[in-house]
């Protein structure tokens, strides 16, 4: 096949195709390099120096061994050409200055996403994908494993979290960072969705880090965090928020009554039938629409790329990633079927926040 390609395509196209293949084969090196710089605190070190730093500055601030300076340079070079850091020549023409791109700025400062990196690059998560061929050939649950994670590790992600404190911490810290940042964006851009209500239940909200953003912005709303016992029982703290409480429970069994139920990045973890069950419990918990009852879903709605290859690829990668818990990212038609099967009105609202990341309001 390689000799045939030499005849059929130009040398430039051949080179680009080989480079694309190499980038796929070694794509994990980018993820591991990103995890390395976050673990070392390099983005924060650059941020503290005003936004730019030399390699020597970075090594000093992050305690990299002087003998490993050349290796650090290779890490910085890779993450510069792949869009995490920028490079400029210093005014005196000496050492290169590394800066923070817009992408990297998501990893520094107040409300940043750096805690997501240790979780998404966690060995338990990454090694789940080694089992993909077996997963695709195996019987589905209940005869077989319920997810890639379960096939690789013998239990679900949620069960692993209940018995592995380190993994649970990485998972909860990742969810907290994501919830805090995006709920601030949502309140800034779509804050009207919370107006007029007296109470809400944030289901699957971990230790309530995101719920605290809502409670602080809307002190008149009585906010309840509901999650599994081993999560809300791990030092869940509502200090500073008189309108915040925590309840242990199972969203498949029942949900406390409130004007609204919030589900942020919950439904994408579950298949169609389970999503229907969760939403049916939500419907039982809220009043009629004419007195303000609704469910607020914060999740991805695929199909908003409008020809942008990076957004399309991001949606596909995110959808593929969700396979490790047997979850799925959905387009509008898939969401609509779930809403209908759960007994909700067809008169729902989808409000894009950042591309495919959206707020969806559904009504009983």
Q: List active site positions.
A: 268
The alpha carbon dihedral of 258, 278, 358, 171 has a sign of positive
Q: Which helix (H) or strand (E) holds 23?
A: helix 11-25
Determine contact, residues 225/261, Cβ cutoff 8 Å.
Answer: no
- Which residues are registered as beta bridge partners of 245? 224
Q: How far apart are CA 283 and CA 277, in angstroms?
A: 10
Phi, psi values for residue 36, rounded to 5°? -60, -50
CB 276 within 8 Å of CB 341: yes
Helices (H), 26-101: 27-40, 42-48, 55-62, 69-81
295 within 8 A of 362, measured Cβ to Cβ: yes
- Measured in Å, how far apart are the chain's first and last C-alpha atoms? 58
- Where does the chain show beta strands of DSSP type E? 52-54, 85-89, 96-100, 199-203, 222-227, 244-248, 260-264, 294-302, 330-331, 349-354, 357-362
Residue corresponding to tokens 């120096």? 49
CA quadruple 156, 169, 313, 341: dihedral sign: positive
Query: 213-228 in b/e burial notation, b at 16+ Cβ within 10 A?
Result: bbbeebeebbbbbbbb
What are the tokens at 258? 């409130």
């Amino acid at each position: 096949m390689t000799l045939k390609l030499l005849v059929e395509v130009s040398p430039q196209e051949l080179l680009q195709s080989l480079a694309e293949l190499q980038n796929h084969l070694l794509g994990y090196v980018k993820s591991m390099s990103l995890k390395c710089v976050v673990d070392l605190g390099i983005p924060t070190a650059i941020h503290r120096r005003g936004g730019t730093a030399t390699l020597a500055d970075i090594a000093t601030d992050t305690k990299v061994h002087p003998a490993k300076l050349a290796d650090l340079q290779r890490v910085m070079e890779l993450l510069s050409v792949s869009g995490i850091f920028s490079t400029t020549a210093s005014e005196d023409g000496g050492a290169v200055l590394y800066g923070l791109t817009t992408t990297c700025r998501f990893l520094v400062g107040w409300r940043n996403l750096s805690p997501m990196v240790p979780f998404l690059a966690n060995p338990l998560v990454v090694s789940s994908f080694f089992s993909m061929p077996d997963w695709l050939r195996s019987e589905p649950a209940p005869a077989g494993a319920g997810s890639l994670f379960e096939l690789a590790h013998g239990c679900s992600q949620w069960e692993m979290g209940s018995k592995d404190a380190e993994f649970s911490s990485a998972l909860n810290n990742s969810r907290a960072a994501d919830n805090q940042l995006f709920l601030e964006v949502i309140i800034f851009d779509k804050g009207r969705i919370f107006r007029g209500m007296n109470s809400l239940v944030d289901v699957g909200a971990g230790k309530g880090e995101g719920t605290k953003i809502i409670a602080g912005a809307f002190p008149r709303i009585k906010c309840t965090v509901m999650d599994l016992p081993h999560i809300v029982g791990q030092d869940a703290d509502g200090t500073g928020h008189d309108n915040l409480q925590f309840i242990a429970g199972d969203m498949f069994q029942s949900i406390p009554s409130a004007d609204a139920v919030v589900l942020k990045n919950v439904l994408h973890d579950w298949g169609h039938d389970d999503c229907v069950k969760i939403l049916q419990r939500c419907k039982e918990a809220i009043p009629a629409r004419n007195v303000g009852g609704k469910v607020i879903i914060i999740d991805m709605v695929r199909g908003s790329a409008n020809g942008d290859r990076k957004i399309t690829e991001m949606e596909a990668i995110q959808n593929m990633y969700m396979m490790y818990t047997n979850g799925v990212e959905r387009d509008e038609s898939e969401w609509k079927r779930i809403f209908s099967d759960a007994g909700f009105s067809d008169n729902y609202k989808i409000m894009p926040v950042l591309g495919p990341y959206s707020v969806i309001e559904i009504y009983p």
